[in-house]
Protein backbone atom coordinates (compact mmCIF):
# COMPACT_ATOMS: atom_id res chain seq x y z
CA UNK A 1 0.00 0.00 0.00
CA UNK A 2 2.88 2.35 0.73
CA UNK A 3 4.19 1.89 -2.81
CA UNK A 4 0.75 2.61 -4.28
CA UNK A 5 0.38 5.70 -2.09
CA UNK A 6 3.81 6.95 -3.16
CA UNK A 7 2.97 6.43 -6.84
CA UNK A 8 -0.39 8.17 -6.43
CA UNK A 9 1.24 11.10 -4.68
CA UNK A 10 3.90 11.36 -7.38
CA UNK A 11 1.27 11.25 -10.13
CA UNK A 12 -0.80 13.92 -8.40
CA UNK A 13 2.32 16.06 -8.10
CA UNK A 14 3.09 15.71 -11.79
CA UNK A 15 -0.51 16.48 -12.72
CA UNK A 16 -0.46 19.59 -10.56
CA UNK A 17 2.69 20.82 -12.27
CA UNK A 18 1.26 20.56 -15.77
CA UNK A 19 -1.97 22.48 -16.43
CA UNK A 20 -2.80 20.61 -19.65
CA UNK A 21 -2.60 17.24 -17.88
CA UNK A 22 -4.65 18.53 -14.96
CA UNK A 23 -7.23 19.81 -17.43
CA UNK A 24 -7.36 16.43 -19.19
CA UNK A 25 -8.00 14.59 -15.91
CA UNK A 26 -10.68 17.06 -14.80
CA UNK A 27 -12.42 16.90 -18.18
CA UNK A 28 -12.40 13.09 -18.07
CA UNK A 29 -13.88 13.13 -14.59
CA UNK A 30 -16.58 15.58 -15.65
CA UNK A 31 -17.43 13.46 -18.69
CA UNK A 32 -17.77 10.34 -16.52
CA UNK A 33 -19.79 11.95 -13.73
CA UNK A 34 -22.19 13.57 -16.17
CA UNK A 35 -22.85 10.25 -17.99
CA UNK A 36 -21.31 11.19 -21.30
CA UNK A 37 -21.43 7.63 -22.65
CA UNK A 38 -25.10 7.31 -21.74
CA UNK A 39 -26.06 10.54 -23.48
CA UNK A 40 -23.98 9.67 -26.55
CA UNK A 41 -25.92 6.41 -26.91
CA UNK A 42 -29.25 8.21 -26.54
CA UNK A 43 -28.42 10.83 -29.16
CA UNK A 44 -27.28 8.07 -31.52
CA UNK A 45 -30.72 6.48 -31.24
CA UNK A 46 -32.47 9.73 -32.12
CA UNK A 47 -30.03 10.29 -34.99
CA UNK A 48 -30.87 6.94 -36.59
CA UNK A 49 -34.58 7.52 -35.95
CA UNK A 50 -34.42 10.90 -37.71
CA UNK A 51 -32.98 9.37 -40.87
CA UNK A 52 -36.24 7.70 -41.96
CA UNK A 53 -38.24 10.92 -42.53
CA UNK A 54 -35.21 12.39 -44.30
CA UNK A 55 -35.23 9.39 -46.64
CA UNK A 56 -38.93 9.98 -47.24
CA UNK A 57 -38.23 13.57 -48.25
CA UNK A 58 -35.37 12.39 -50.49
CA UNK A 59 -37.65 9.88 -52.25
CA UNK A 60 -40.27 12.59 -52.67
CA UNK A 61 -37.77 14.98 -54.24
CA UNK A 62 -36.56 12.21 -56.55
CA UNK A 63 -40.20 11.51 -57.49
CA UNK A 64 -40.81 15.13 -58.45
CA UNK A 65 -37.62 15.20 -60.53
CA UNK A 66 -38.46 11.97 -62.35
CA UNK A 67 -42.09 13.03 -62.93
CA UNK A 68 -40.90 16.19 -64.66
CA UNK A 69 -38.37 14.35 -66.85
CA UNK A 70 -39.98 11.30 -68.56
CA UNK A 71 -36.83 10.58 -70.54
CA UNK A 72 -34.79 10.28 -67.36
CA UNK A 73 -37.45 8.02 -65.84
CA UNK A 74 -37.45 5.73 -68.88
CA UNK A 75 -33.65 5.58 -68.86
CA UNK A 76 -33.64 4.70 -65.14
CA UNK A 77 -36.20 1.93 -65.54
CA UNK A 78 -34.37 0.46 -68.53
CA UNK A 79 -31.14 0.50 -66.53
CA UNK A 80 -32.88 -1.37 -63.69
CA UNK A 81 -34.14 -4.03 -66.11
CA UNK A 82 -30.69 -4.53 -67.59
CA UNK A 83 -28.77 -4.70 -64.33
CA UNK A 84 -31.42 -6.43 -62.18
CA UNK A 85 -33.28 -8.88 -64.41
CA UNK A 86 -36.22 -10.95 -63.24
CA UNK A 87 -38.93 -10.27 -60.66
CA UNK A 88 -36.69 -8.26 -58.36
CA UNK A 89 -36.04 -5.67 -61.05
CA UNK A 90 -39.77 -5.48 -61.77
CA UNK A 91 -40.46 -4.86 -58.08
CA UNK A 92 -37.93 -2.02 -58.02
CA UNK A 93 -39.57 -0.37 -61.03
CA UNK A 94 -42.96 -0.75 -59.32
CA UNK A 95 -41.55 0.99 -56.24
CA UNK A 96 -40.25 3.81 -58.45
CA UNK A 97 -43.70 4.24 -60.02
CA UNK A 98 -45.32 4.20 -56.59
CA UNK A 99 -42.85 6.81 -55.29
CA UNK A 100 -43.71 9.09 -58.19
CA UNK A 101 -47.48 8.69 -57.68
CA UNK A 102 -47.32 9.36 -53.92
CA UNK A 103 -44.52 11.93 -54.01
CA UNK A 104 -46.66 14.72 -52.55
CA UNK A 105 -48.05 12.72 -49.63
CA UNK A 106 -44.71 11.09 -48.84
CA UNK A 107 -42.89 14.42 -48.96
CA UNK A 108 -45.41 16.19 -46.72
CA UNK A 109 -45.46 13.33 -44.23
CA UNK A 110 -41.66 13.21 -44.27
CA UNK A 111 -41.43 16.94 -43.57
CA UNK A 112 -43.85 16.75 -40.64
CA UNK A 113 -42.26 13.67 -39.10
CA UNK A 114 -38.79 15.05 -39.85
CA UNK A 115 -39.58 18.29 -38.03
CA UNK A 116 -40.89 16.36 -35.03
CA UNK A 117 -37.95 13.97 -34.82
CA UNK A 118 -35.49 16.78 -35.60
CA UNK A 119 -36.78 18.83 -32.68
CA UNK A 120 -36.55 15.79 -30.42
CA UNK A 121 -32.99 15.17 -31.60
CA UNK A 122 -31.83 18.76 -31.08
CA UNK A 123 -33.53 18.94 -27.66
CA UNK A 124 -31.75 15.79 -26.48
CA UNK A 125 -28.46 16.98 -27.93
CA UNK A 126 -28.74 20.33 -26.14
CA UNK A 127 -29.69 18.58 -22.89
CA UNK A 128 -26.65 16.28 -23.16
CA UNK A 129 -24.30 19.20 -23.81
CA UNK A 130 -25.81 21.25 -21.00
CA UNK A 131 -25.38 18.31 -18.61
CA UNK A 132 -21.60 18.65 -18.87
CA UNK A 133 -21.81 22.00 -17.04
CA UNK A 134 -23.13 20.56 -13.76
CA UNK A 135 -25.58 23.45 -13.35
CA UNK A 136 -29.27 23.70 -14.01
CA UNK A 137 -30.80 26.89 -15.38
CA UNK A 138 -34.43 27.77 -14.64
CA UNK A 139 -36.82 26.01 -16.99
CA UNK A 140 -38.23 28.21 -19.73
CA UNK A 141 -41.82 27.93 -21.00
CA UNK A 142 -42.18 25.02 -23.41
CA UNK A 143 -43.01 27.26 -26.37
CA UNK A 144 -39.88 29.33 -25.77
CA UNK A 145 -37.76 26.19 -25.52
CA UNK A 146 -39.20 24.86 -28.79
CA UNK A 147 -38.56 28.16 -30.56
CA UNK A 148 -35.01 28.08 -29.24
CA UNK A 149 -34.64 24.50 -30.49
CA UNK A 150 -35.92 25.51 -33.93
CA UNK A 151 -33.35 28.31 -34.06
CA UNK A 152 -30.62 25.93 -32.93
CA UNK A 153 -31.66 23.39 -35.59
CA UNK A 154 -31.54 26.05 -38.31
CA UNK A 155 -28.20 27.35 -37.07
CA UNK A 156 -26.74 23.86 -36.98
CA UNK A 157 -27.97 23.32 -40.53
CA UNK A 158 -26.24 26.49 -41.70
CA UNK A 159 -23.04 25.52 -39.90
CA UNK A 160 -23.21 22.09 -41.54
CA UNK A 161 -23.63 23.72 -44.96
CA UNK A 162 -20.48 25.78 -44.37
CA UNK A 163 -18.65 22.65 -43.22
CA UNK A 164 -19.81 20.64 -46.23
CA UNK A 165 -18.72 23.45 -48.52
CA UNK A 166 -15.24 23.48 -47.01
CA UNK A 167 -15.06 19.67 -47.17
CA UNK A 168 -16.13 19.67 -50.82
CA UNK A 169 -13.52 22.32 -51.56
CA UNK A 170 -10.88 20.21 -49.83
CA UNK A 171 -11.78 17.11 -51.86
CA UNK A 172 -12.20 18.87 -55.21
CA UNK A 173 -9.60 19.31 -57.94
CA UNK A 174 -9.80 23.09 -57.73
CA UNK A 175 -6.35 23.39 -56.17
CA UNK A 176 -4.78 21.23 -58.87
CA UNK A 177 -6.57 23.20 -61.57
CA UNK A 178 -5.32 26.50 -60.13
CA UNK A 179 -1.75 25.19 -60.02
CA UNK A 180 -2.08 23.97 -63.61
CA UNK A 181 -3.49 27.33 -64.71
CA UNK A 182 -0.48 29.21 -63.38
CA UNK A 183 1.94 26.52 -64.52
CA UNK A 184 3.04 25.52 -61.02
CA UNK A 185 1.72 21.96 -61.06
CA UNK A 186 5.14 20.54 -61.96
CA UNK A 187 7.03 22.38 -59.22
CA UNK A 188 8.66 20.23 -56.49
CA UNK A 189 6.44 19.89 -53.46
CA UNK A 190 3.24 21.03 -55.21
CA UNK A 191 1.46 17.77 -54.36
CA UNK A 192 2.56 18.01 -50.75
CA UNK A 193 1.25 21.57 -50.49
CA UNK A 194 -2.10 20.50 -51.93
CA UNK A 195 -2.33 17.62 -49.45
CA UNK A 196 -1.55 19.92 -46.52
CA UNK A 197 -4.13 22.46 -47.71
CA UNK A 198 -6.72 19.70 -48.13
CA UNK A 199 -6.10 18.40 -44.61
CA UNK A 200 -6.25 21.96 -43.27
CA UNK A 201 -9.58 22.62 -44.95
CA UNK A 202 -10.97 19.36 -43.59
CA UNK A 203 -9.91 20.32 -40.07
CA UNK A 204 -11.36 23.80 -40.55
CA UNK A 205 -14.67 22.31 -41.67
CA UNK A 206 -14.89 20.04 -38.63
CA UNK A 207 -13.76 22.84 -36.32
CA UNK A 208 -16.49 25.19 -37.61
CA UNK A 209 -19.29 22.74 -36.76
CA UNK A 210 -17.85 21.68 -33.40
CA UNK A 211 -17.18 25.29 -32.36
CA UNK A 212 -20.73 26.33 -33.15
CA UNK A 213 -22.21 23.34 -31.32
CA UNK A 214 -20.08 23.78 -28.20
CA UNK A 215 -20.62 27.53 -28.05
CA UNK A 216 -24.31 27.79 -28.96
CA UNK A 217 -26.13 24.54 -28.19
CA UNK A 218 -25.65 24.28 -24.39
CA UNK A 219 -28.24 26.19 -22.40
CA UNK A 220 -25.40 27.81 -20.46
CA UNK A 221 -23.14 30.74 -21.40
CA UNK A 222 -19.89 29.56 -23.00
CA UNK A 223 -16.85 31.72 -23.64
CA UNK A 224 -15.87 31.78 -27.30
CA UNK A 225 -12.19 31.16 -26.55
CA UNK A 226 -12.88 27.96 -24.61
CA UNK A 227 -15.31 26.78 -27.29
CA UNK A 228 -12.75 27.42 -30.04
CA UNK A 229 -10.04 25.49 -28.17
CA UNK A 230 -12.34 22.59 -27.35
CA UNK A 231 -13.52 22.50 -30.98
CA UNK A 232 -9.91 22.28 -32.16
CA UNK A 233 -9.39 19.26 -29.89
CA UNK A 234 -12.62 17.68 -31.18
CA UNK A 235 -11.76 18.38 -34.83
CA UNK A 236 -8.36 16.69 -34.55
CA UNK A 237 -9.84 13.66 -32.78
CA UNK A 238 -12.67 13.49 -35.33
CA UNK A 239 -10.33 13.57 -38.34
CA UNK A 240 -8.16 10.82 -36.83
CA UNK A 241 -11.28 8.77 -36.10
CA UNK A 242 -12.50 9.16 -39.72
CA UNK A 243 -9.24 7.72 -41.02
CA UNK A 244 -9.42 4.75 -38.64
CA UNK A 245 -13.12 4.20 -39.36
CA UNK A 246 -12.60 4.20 -43.12
CA UNK A 247 -9.83 1.63 -42.81
CA UNK A 248 -11.90 -0.52 -40.45
CA UNK A 249 -15.00 -0.44 -42.65
CA UNK A 250 -13.02 -1.61 -45.65
CA UNK A 251 -12.14 -4.74 -43.70
CA UNK A 252 -15.57 -5.33 -42.15
CA UNK A 253 -17.58 -4.87 -45.35
CA UNK A 254 -15.73 -7.74 -47.02
CA UNK A 255 -17.64 -10.30 -44.95
CA UNK A 256 -21.23 -11.34 -45.82
CA UNK A 257 -22.55 -10.10 -42.47
CA UNK A 258 -20.76 -6.80 -42.92
CA UNK A 259 -22.17 -6.37 -46.40
CA UNK A 260 -25.69 -6.97 -45.07
CA UNK A 261 -25.68 -5.00 -41.83
CA UNK A 262 -22.53 -2.95 -42.21
CA UNK A 263 -24.22 0.28 -43.31
CA UNK A 264 -26.60 0.66 -40.37
CA UNK A 265 -24.08 -0.64 -37.81
CA UNK A 266 -21.39 1.59 -39.25
CA UNK A 267 -23.73 4.58 -39.02
CA UNK A 268 -24.54 3.84 -35.37
CA UNK A 269 -20.89 3.35 -34.39
CA UNK A 270 -19.84 6.46 -36.30
CA UNK A 271 -22.55 8.55 -34.63
CA UNK A 272 -21.78 7.18 -31.18
CA UNK A 273 -18.05 7.89 -31.36
CA UNK A 274 -18.68 11.33 -32.86
CA UNK A 275 -21.04 12.28 -30.04
CA UNK A 276 -18.57 11.01 -27.47
CA UNK A 277 -15.94 13.27 -28.99
CA UNK A 278 -18.36 16.20 -28.92
CA UNK A 279 -19.42 15.60 -25.31
CA UNK A 280 -15.84 15.20 -24.10
CA UNK A 281 -14.88 18.42 -25.89
CA UNK A 282 -17.80 20.12 -24.15
CA UNK A 283 -16.56 18.78 -20.81
CA UNK A 284 -13.14 20.16 -21.73
CA UNK A 285 -14.68 23.60 -22.36
CA UNK A 286 -16.74 23.40 -19.16
CA UNK A 287 -13.62 22.70 -17.06
CA UNK A 288 -11.51 25.40 -18.71
CA UNK A 289 -10.25 28.26 -16.59
CA UNK A 290 -12.35 30.84 -18.46
CA UNK A 291 -15.67 29.15 -17.79
CA UNK A 292 -14.79 28.14 -14.24
CA UNK A 293 -14.03 31.77 -13.39
CA UNK A 294 -17.32 32.89 -14.95
CA UNK A 295 -19.19 30.13 -13.09
CA UNK A 296 -17.93 31.40 -9.74
CA UNK A 297 -20.30 34.34 -10.18
CA UNK A 298 -23.51 32.44 -10.86
CA UNK A 299 -26.73 34.27 -11.74
CA UNK A 300 -29.15 34.64 -8.83
CA UNK A 301 -31.73 32.31 -10.36
CA UNK A 302 -29.30 29.53 -11.26
CA UNK A 303 -29.35 26.35 -9.18
CA UNK A 304 -26.10 24.45 -8.76
CA UNK A 305 -26.98 20.78 -8.59
CA UNK A 306 -23.49 19.33 -8.06
CA UNK A 307 -20.38 20.68 -6.36
CA UNK A 308 -17.71 22.05 -8.68
CA UNK A 309 -14.76 21.96 -6.29
CA UNK A 310 -13.78 18.29 -6.46
CA UNK A 311 -12.90 17.88 -10.13
CA UNK A 312 -10.48 14.97 -9.82
CA UNK A 313 -12.86 12.52 -8.16
CA UNK A 314 -12.77 9.47 -10.39
CA UNK A 315 -14.92 6.36 -10.58
CA UNK A 316 -14.79 3.26 -12.72
CA UNK A 317 -15.34 3.40 -16.45
CA UNK A 318 -14.36 6.32 -18.60
CA UNK A 319 -13.16 8.50 -15.73
CA UNK A 320 -10.74 5.81 -14.62
CA UNK A 321 -9.54 5.39 -18.18
CA UNK A 322 -8.76 9.10 -18.50
CA UNK A 323 -7.09 9.08 -15.10
CA UNK A 324 -5.02 6.09 -16.18
CA UNK A 325 -3.98 7.90 -19.34
CA UNK A 326 -3.06 10.93 -17.31
CA UNK A 327 -1.14 8.80 -14.83
CA UNK A 328 0.85 7.11 -17.60
CA UNK A 329 1.66 10.47 -19.16
CA UNK A 330 2.69 11.84 -15.78
CA UNK A 331 4.94 8.87 -15.02
CA UNK A 332 6.52 9.20 -18.45
CA UNK A 333 7.21 12.83 -17.79
CA UNK A 334 8.69 11.94 -14.41
CA UNK A 335 11.09 9.47 -16.01
CA UNK A 336 12.03 11.31 -19.20
CA UNK A 337 11.24 14.89 -18.38
CA UNK A 338 13.58 15.51 -15.45
CA UNK A 339 15.90 18.42 -15.81
CA UNK A 340 19.49 17.48 -16.26
pLDDT tens for residues 64-89?
887 778 787 777 777 767 766 666 66
Residue positions counted in the chain: 340
Asked if 114 and 57 count as a contact pair (C-beta separation under 8 A), the reply is yes
Q: Residues 166, 172, 178, 179: is their CA dihedral positive or negative? A: positive
pTM score above 0.75: no
Mean pLDDT is lowest, of 33-42, 105-114, 308-317, for 308-317
Mean predicted confidence (pLDDT) in 27-54:
88
d(CA 155, CA 149) in angstroms, rounded, equals 10
Q: What pLDDT, on the 0 to 100 scale, is given for residue 326?
A: 44
Q: DSSP E strands: which ranges in 219-313?
A: 303-304
129 pLDDT band, cuts 50/70/90, is very high
CA dist 47 to 51, 110, 264, Å?
7, 15, 12
Q: What tens digit of pLDDT does each residue of 266-298 get?
A: 888 889 999 999 999 999 999 987 776 555 544
Amino acid sequence: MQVVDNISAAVEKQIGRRPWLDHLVRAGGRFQRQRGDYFAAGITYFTVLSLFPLLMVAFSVAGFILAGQPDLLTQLQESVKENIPGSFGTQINDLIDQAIRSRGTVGLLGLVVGLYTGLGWIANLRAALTEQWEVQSPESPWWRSKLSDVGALIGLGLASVVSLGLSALAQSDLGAQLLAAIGADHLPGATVVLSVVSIGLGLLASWAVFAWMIARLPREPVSLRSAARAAALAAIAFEVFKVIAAFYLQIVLRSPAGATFGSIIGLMVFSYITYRILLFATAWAATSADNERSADIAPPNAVVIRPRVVERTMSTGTGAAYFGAGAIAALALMVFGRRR
